[in-house]
A and B are shown apart, each in its own frame.
Chain A
């Protein structure tokens, strides 16, 4: 099915461990995004990439890094996980004036 694919779907990390969340889209969209969703906090933008080769910080970038590997793929890395990074992470893609297409999410727990 066309859309946005995120892996893994679930992950448990210990404090201080690192991991990379993967995201790929097959709609030829230029823009890609990483959000986190916490109870009562809505969606908060971590990083985004307006086009291949560019990345910009969102509202809550601290503790994260991103790589726009090519037009299809946009990964999010946690270098040293902290309990405050326990959340549900969503990747999305879009074109100008279109809505977003979201992935199904990665549920991350840091213990």
Chain B
């Protein structure tokens, strides 16, 4: 069935380090792919998305590329800040509309 596998956390980095959070998916059809961010005490916010193969989504310095051949959508950022500390969720949906979410990866960035 449909599923999302995310890199397990927690991930702890120093400020200005390079970030990668891995995400792979199993889906029928041609999904749209998403990354969401959840800051402490808040709801999830859409961070970026990609709707077809080789698309690159980007926002706030974060990037992810839709890799159909490896069914992956890894999240990257070149230089993380303390303010990036949050939980990150990978997700996809198909033409049914309902999304499938990963379990979330907690990122802590230390000064």
Give the contacts of A24-80 with B (CB-CB under 8 A): 30-31, 33, 41-43, 45, 48, 50
Contact A100 B103 (CB under 8 A): no
* Minimal beta-carbon separation of B103 from chain A (angstroms): 4
| In-complex Cβ contact of A103 among B43, B51, B89 (8 A) | B43
Q: Which residue of B lies closest to A48 (CB)?
A: B98
Contact size class for B?
20 to 34
Among candidates B42, B49, B98, B103, residue contacting A99 with C-beta atoms closer than 8 Å? B49
Contact pattern, B 89-111, Cβ under 8 Å of A = 1, otherwise 0: 10101010111011110000000
Residue in B closest to A99 when the chains form the complex, CB atoms: B46
Q: Mark A68-111, 1 if CB is under 8 A from B, else 0.
A: 00000000000000000000001010111111111111000000
Rounded to whole angstroms, the CA-CA distance of A98 and B46 in the bound complex is 10
Q: Is the CB of A100 within 8 A of B99?
A: yes
The distance in angstroms between the C-alpha atoms of A99 and B47, with both chains bound, is 9
Q: Does B62 contact A (CB under 8 A)?
A: no
Supposing A43-B89, A104-B43, A105-B43 touch, asked if A94 and B97 sit within 8 A by C-beta, the answer is yes
User: Across the interface, do A97 and B36 meet the contact criterion of CB distance under 8 Å?
Assistant: no
The answer to the question of B20 belonging to the interface, with a C-beta cut-off of 8 Å to chain A, is no
* B2 → chain A closest CB, angstroms: 12
- A99 partner residues in chain B, CB cutoff 8 A: 32, 34, 36, 46, 49, 91, 99
Sample of 11 A–B contacts (CB below 8 Å): A43-B44, A43-B104, A48-B98, A90-B44, A94-B99, A96-B95, A97-B32, A101-B46, A102-B45, A104-B42, A105-B42
A94-B99, A105-B42 are known; give 4 further A-B pairs, CB within 8 A. A94-B93, A99-B34, A100-B46, A102-B36
